[in-house]
A and B are shown apart, each in its own frame.
Chain A
Amino acid sequence: QQQVKQSPQSLIVQKGGISIINCAYENTAFDYFPWYQQFPGKGPALLIAIRPDVSEKKEGRFTISFNKSAKQFSLHIMDSQPGDSATYFCAATYFGNEKLTFGTGTRLTIIP
């Protein structure tokens, strides 16, 4: 059972544009939502994470928006650059749960 649904599967954005990746979850117990970035041939690496006590978290060009009532969260990449081309995974868990549930991933390509 896929508890975290991620869309789109792939995304092409022009350089300087805004990239938006969406995730929806089912388990209302989830209270920690990280995003991981993976470059080809590498392991995923934590990019940014949010807990539901805030509706938005920003780190540089990367922003997580969180909508608790809709059980959705999204990653926004402002001023997208070719170096942002990677696969992005959303994930979710809750305190005391030793398992991280990942979305299916979004392959992002930034074109000049």
Chain B
Amino acid sequence: NAGVTQTPKFQVLKTGQSMTLQCAQDMNHEYMSWYRQDPGMGLRLIHYSVGAGITDQGEVPNGYNVSRSTTEDFPLRLLSAAPSQTSVYFCASSDGQGVFSDEQFFGPGTRLTVL
């Protein structure tokens, strides 16, 4: 099993550009989520999904879109990048019990810089 994979590892964008951060898992997990990690702020939830076709907002959803067309994939879209979105982004997945499960797996992260 590859676990949770994220692409790209690094990305530099100019203000106003759009891009999609990819996340995939091969563990047949129902629950997937996106976090951003900023110094002194910990991990903050952007969006999450409890299954294919179902998504919901987290703590900091503004400026980001998600969709969940398959169990395996959960892409995060930045429609018009802003410098405030410079961060490290982590995708995570867990089994049907969601975050209450002991099995929350994180991907390796995408480091995004917006100039």
Contact = CB atoms under 8 A, between A and B. Distances in A.
* Chain B associates with chain A: yes
Contact of B99 (A9, A41, A43, A98): A98
A99 B48 contact: yes
A41 B37 CA distance: 12
Given A34-B104, A43-B90, A43-B108, A89 B99 contact: no
B43 A89 contact: yes
B4 to A, nearest CB: 8
A34 B94 CA distance: 14
A46 interface: yes
Interface of A: 6, 9, 32, 34, 36, 41-46, 49, 89, 93-100, 102-105
Interface of B: 4, 31, 35, 40-45, 48, 50, 56, 58-59, 90, 92, 98-100, 102-109
29 contacts: A6-B42, A9-B40, A32-B100, A34-B102, A34-B104, A42-B108, A43-B4, A43-B90, A43-B108, A44-B43, A44-B90, A45-B106, A49-B102, A95-B100, A98-B31, A98-B48, A98-B50, A98-B56, A99-B48, A99-B58, A99-B59, A99-B99, A100-B45, A100-B99, A100-B104, A102-B35, A102-B42, A105-B42, A105-B43
